[in-house]
């Protein structure tokens, strides 16, 4: 899961295992918290990266 924040909205991208990444979703901070909680319930492991670092090519 990659995420970033711009103008008060959070943008989240998700990729499950080796599948093609799913389209980016935008949501409020509260929506982001619900989304992350749901992913943690559904998946064995969840990894996140900062979207800004991803765009800059850093890990």
* CA–centroid distance for 5 within its chain: 10
Q: CA-CA distance, 2 to 39, in Å (whole number)?
A: 13
What was the pLDDT predicted at 51? 66
Q: CA-CA distance, 7 to 48, in Å (whole number)?
A: 21
Interval 8-52: pLDDT, tens: 788 888 888 888 988 988 999 899 889 889 988 988 788 877 766
What was the pLDDT predicted at 45? 84
What was the pLDDT predicted at 34? 93
The residue ranges of every structural domain in the chain are 2-55
Collect all residues with Cβ–Cβ distance below 8 Å to 23 and sequence separation of at least 6.
13
């Amino acid at each position: 899961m990659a995420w970033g924040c711009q103008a008060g909205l959070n943008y989240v991208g998700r990729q499950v295992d080796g599948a093609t990444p799913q389209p980016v979703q935008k949501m409020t901070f509260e929506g982001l918290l619900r989304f992350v909680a749901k992913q943690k319930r559904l998946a064995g492991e969840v990894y996140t990266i900062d979207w800004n670092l991803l765009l800059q090519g850093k890990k």
